[in-house]
Structure 1
Amino acid sequence: MTRKVPIIAVASAPGKAGVGVIRISGSELKSFASSLLQKPLAPRQASLQSLRDGHNNIIDQLLAIYFEAPASFTGEDVLELQCHGGPQLLELVMKRCLEVGKEIDLCIAEPGEFTLRAYLNNKMDLAQAEAVADLIDAQSEAAVRSAARSLQGAFSDDINALVEEITQLRILVESTLDFPEEEIEFLENAQAKERLQKVISRLAHLRANAKQGKILRDGIQLVLVGAPNVGKSSLLNRLAGEEVAIVTPIAGTTRDRVKESITINGVPIHIIDTAGLRDTQDEVEAKGIERSWDAIRTADLVVYLKDAANAGKESAKDTKLKAEIIAALPPKCPILEVHNKADLLPANAFAASETLKISAKTGDGVEGLKNRILEIAGWSAPQEGGILARRRHLDCLDRAMEHIEKSEQFAANGNNSLELFAEELHLAQDELGKITGKLLPDDLLGKIFSQFCIGK
């Protein structure tokens, strides 16, 4: 699943910095470290060392820390070198390490290979390993806290506890199958239905938390759509708090997608301002409109912006455009209709209407729009003990729930369907095992870790 040779990589971010970190992991690195630094290192002690090139010239003074297996991040011997953080200097240190490491076949690490080795050496499970990357990529304080909890094993503990409950239920079912002569009325005597309901309740709670974690991790892709000159770019600027899109009274000013990321109550919102949707003979604008439709097809939420002056007077053209937008939406993607330019109308224009009205120009109603965006996207106030989750986690939880619900149907048939009851429990357990990596195919495992940065 992974290479056996020692690996090396720069573990700090690219660019200039006060400190740059180089990480090396492999078997039996003690002699390599002694050769590299020309003196032995005591495990788990930071020491100031002089690194020299092949001609005995000093490259840098650095801190070296040697971690002896298995007490390390990867479970192998690990050597960390904390150098000065200049890119050219780090390149020289890497070059020297590779020169000395020829005898042990030291090579450059692949993306995520350090964390992959930690996973394969049972230093963490897959959900924790993914949390390493999520912690680095976290876009808000809430995301940082949730990723840290997942890294400490909170999400894995929930999964493992649920797997254990299903395991105990399977034991009861399969024991009954093995000893039919006992004529045990299994469902009643073993309280299987009650146990199954407890599993369903716990799985539903975990799915709800994971959905919140998915939003917190990936954010919400919000697409602003509408006819030309309804104020989409003005709304983008208002939400972003700066002039990120050009605004003019001329219809068709926005000819391509404009992207901006913001946070609302700690939730990342990735806003895409699209070209006004209309028929046009302008080739450049037409390309922008096609990209607008591409954005709609991948949206998490679409805000359909309309001119407030036309509220209640929807034309056949407007009706057709809305139908086309709805037809292009991905499954379960909501559409929020918003009327802009409310500042141009009398104060009581919407008195008897539930229409969401705003003024991107003055900011009136925009705070309410932000709250509505979070509500429709499925976000609720963060709870203590939140976790981060990925799309694959949600997919596994959804499939597990499908199998559990099928098992409930078979349970209702009594002893006549115990084999099918047991099989659905087994399939649900397998889906949960994929989250922590206990039953994950090697090709998917490689794909997951390839998305990590080099050095992690």
Structure 2
Amino acid sequence: MSLPRHQDPIVAIATAPGRGAVGIVRISGRGLTAISQALCARGLKPREATYTPFLDADGVAIDQGLALFFPGPNSFTGEDVLELQAHGGPVVLQLLLSRCLQAAAQSGPDSLPLLPHLRVALPGEFSERAFLNNKLDLAQAEAIADLIDASTEAAARSATRSLSGAFSQEIHHLRDALIHLRMLVEATLDFPEEEIDFLRKADAHGQLSNLQQSLDSVLGRARQGALLREGIKVVIAGQPNAGKSSLLNALAGAELAIVTAIPGTTRDKVQQTIQIEGVPLHVIDTAGLRDGVDEVEQIGIARAWEAITQADAVLFLHDLTRCDAPEYRADDAHIAEVMAGKLSKSVPIIHVWNKADAVTLAHVGEGLLLSAKNGSGLDVLRARLLQLAGWQSATEGVFIARARHVQALHAVQMHLQAAQMYLDIHSQALDLLAEELRLAQNALCVITGEFTSDDLLGVIFSSFCIGK
């Protein structure tokens, strides 16, 4: 799996762009002692912070800060790692980065470069080195990026749980149970003349059933983790002046969208991410759906329909103060008809009747009553959105997960179901049973990176920060 570039030493600024109290330049590779001597003019004790000047080629201090040296394999990447912690100005850090590259190219006592082939790291390359050197598995490496990107407290805690190995341990337990079951099946295939029924005496049916139950539990928590990471996209749609922008503002708790009594005020999408019980909801306010009065509004309406077709859930907002007007009801019915034709049946449409504060009595049948103005009914709407998203209130034991993890677990589930079918007919299909168990194990190993491709690694780590 290792590529030629994985042998190069790498360097990068490991802190976020901009100014800060502290900035870090990190180097990873083999044999960093000589370059640390060139930069700090002194030897560094392993895993001990040393306050020292960082010197340019003429021996003049660029800055003063802390230098830390972690000899491999006892480091994050598994290679030698040198960290220079300086003041966090972008100019200072760029000077240090340039000095590292310059020092690596200068000749040492043997007339060879101190650190040949040192280059600036690619996005996520430090974490990729850690994975390739077995310091963490692929699920843990992904959890690093997820922890950085976490938009809610629940997502951060779940990412920490995955980073600590909780998700990987679940996968390893499933893998070990699969390997044991495969061993029994392979033994039966290898010794067909034996009278002993290995599978019956070892309770292969019971083992497979327990495996499927454990998988269902892991899959359920992975779905919750994926929801914490990705959230759901909720689009507010309806006729002009139904209160869509007011509802967005009420859900967000801030005046994000302009609200007026003039129809067509909202001309483009307005998006805000909110959280409900730690689940991120990407709420999108759209232009009122009607025959556009002018070209600009027509563009806004076209974008509204585009957002609707990409939604995970749609809030179809109705105006209670106009619900008895025949023309208004006819326009709502036309929107509903068009919406049904554009949306997948799996996308829920929640009918929301707004302006409950402006009417004395309302009976609307299907849908939720609320007032975006005074907030009544918002809690019911939030609970309904979580229900539709598939969220369960108890987050204990939930680990952060990605769509690819859920897809892999679904593949395992499919192979185990096929294995159950072949096990039921026993001797006539033992070879097919063995193959389904093998495929299930491979699907599991894709999650932790034990069975993966360089292309997948490239996609995953390219989304990381440079220096991480």
Q: Same fold (TM over 0.5)?
A: yes
Judged with a 3 Å threshold, the aligned counterparts in structure 2 of structure 1 residues 175 and 391 are, in CA distance, closer, same or farther, namely same
Measure the CA separation in 1 of the matches of 2:366 and 2:331. 23
Give the AA of the match of 1:63: L
Measure the CA separation in 1 of the matches of 2:367 and 2:350. 10
Asked if the contact 1:185–1:415 (Cα under 8 Å) also holds between the matched residues in 2, the reply is no
Measure the CA separation in 1 of the matches of 2:57 and 2:320. 74
Measure the CA separation in 1 of the matches of 2:438 and 2:298. 52
Identity of aligned residues (%): 50
Structure 2 residue matching 1:278: 3-state secondary structure:
coil
Q: CA deviation at 1:449?
A: 0.3
Q: CA RMSD in A?
A: 1.7
Instruction: Tell me which residue corresponds to 2:150.
Output: 138
Matched, 1:419 2:422: no
Match of 1:380 among 392, 399, 408: 392
Give the AA of the match of 2:350: L
Correspondence list, 1:42-441, <5 A: 42-102=45-105, 103=113, 104=115, 105-309=117-321, 315-330=329-344, 332-346=346-360, 348-350=361-363, 353=365, 355-441=367-453
Measure the CA separation in 2 of the matches of 1:43 and 1:253. 63
Q: CA deviation at 1:265?
A: 1.6
Judged with a 3 Å threshold, the aligned counterparts in structure 2 of structure 1 residues 90 and 143 are, in CA distance, closer, same or farther, namely same
Give the AA of the match of 1:270: H
Judged with a 3 Å threshold, the aligned counterparts in structure 2 of structure 1 residues 184 and 324 are, in CA distance, closer, same or farther, namely farther
Q: Please list the CA deviations of residues 140-167 of structure 1 after superposition, one character each: whole Å capped at 9, or x if unmatched.
A: 1111111111001000000010011111
Measure the CA separation in 2 of the matches of 1:165 and 1:309. 61
Instruction: Tell me which residue corresponds to 2:110.
Output: none
Asked if the contact 1:342–1:358 (Cα under 8 Å) also holds between the matched residues in 2, the reply is yes
Matched, 1:19 2:32: no
Give the AA of the match of 1:144: A
TM-score, length-normalised on structure 2? 0.93
Q: How many residues align?
A: 454
Give the AA of the match of 1:257: K
Q: CA deviation at 1:316?
A: 4.3
Name structure 1 gaps, 5 residues minimum.
none
Name structure 2 gaps, 5 residues minimum.
106-112
Measure the CA separation in 2 of the matches of 1:317 and 1:420. 57
Structure 2 residue matching 1:118: 3-state secondary structure:
helix
Asked if the contact 1:12–1:20 (Cα under 8 Å) also holds between the matched residues in 2, the reply is yes
Asked if the contact 1:298–1:330 (Cα under 8 Å) also holds between the matched residues in 2, the reply is no
Asked if the contact 1:143–1:216 (Cα under 8 Å) also holds between the matched residues in 2, the reply is yes
TM-score, length-normalised on structure 1? 0.96
Q: CA deviation at 1:323?
A: 3.0
Q: Please list the CA deviations of residues 385-418 of structure 1 after superposition, one character each: whole Å capped at 9, or x if unmatched.
A: 2200001001111111111111111122222111
Q: Please list the CA deviations of residues 301-357 of structure 1 after superposition, one character each: whole Å capped at 9, or x if unmatched.
A: 2111112245587844423322322333356322211111111111x423x956311
Measure the CA separation in 2 of the matches of 1:338 and 1:453. 41
Measure the CA separation in 1 of the matches of 2:304 and 2:367. 25
Measure the CA separation in 2 of the matches of 1:299 and 1:183. 59
Measure the CA separation in 2 of the matches of 1:121 and 1:382. 36
Measure the CA separation in 2 of the matches of 1:388 and 1:282. 46
